[in-house]
Amino acid sequence: MEDDFYATIKLKCGDEIYTKVSPCFENNKTILLVTNPITLQQINGPRGLTGYKLEPWLKTTKDDMFVIDMENVLTMSESKDIEMIMMYQAWIRESAEDFPKDPTGTRKKINRKMGYIANVNDTKEILEKLFEDSP
């Protein structure tokens, strides 16, 4: 077994993922164990600013490790870009904090860091007052 590495993988289905890869060789066949694969989308902001939107590759599962047969890989490029690796690791840490993996599958309690918290009745009153006060 070789050492783990970070890579961008283009799959034959068209998906492009960034992930930590552990290659395995079994029965004269190469498979990839990928951990926390993500997709990236470049976002162009005002005044020429560029950022990236990171999302999990598969959005309907809480699994963090997947097996990919090399027959499904179009190309793979090892990444030694420290900024990209750090961005990936930060995303992994943040997503683990937001959605802890415990046996019950429960999430963390909502807090103000996640956004504004209000109840429906208070919000309804505020919106009605704004509507009434508008010209």
> What are the tens digits of pLDDT across the range 57-106?
998 888 889 999 999 999 999 999 998 899 899 888 888 765 544 455 55
Q: Would you identify the CATH topology of the domain 5-109? A: SH3 type barrels. (2.30.30)
Instruction: Give residue 122's pLDDT.
Output: 75
Question: How far is residue 34's CA from residue 75's CA, in Å, rounded to a whole number?
Answer: 15
Output the pTM of the full model.
0.67
For residue 85, the surrounding DSSP H or E stretch is helix 82-98
Among the listed residues 71, 99, 77, the one whose alpha carbon sits nearest the alpha carbon of residue 12: 71
Whether 21 shows a pLDDT value over 80: the answer reads yes
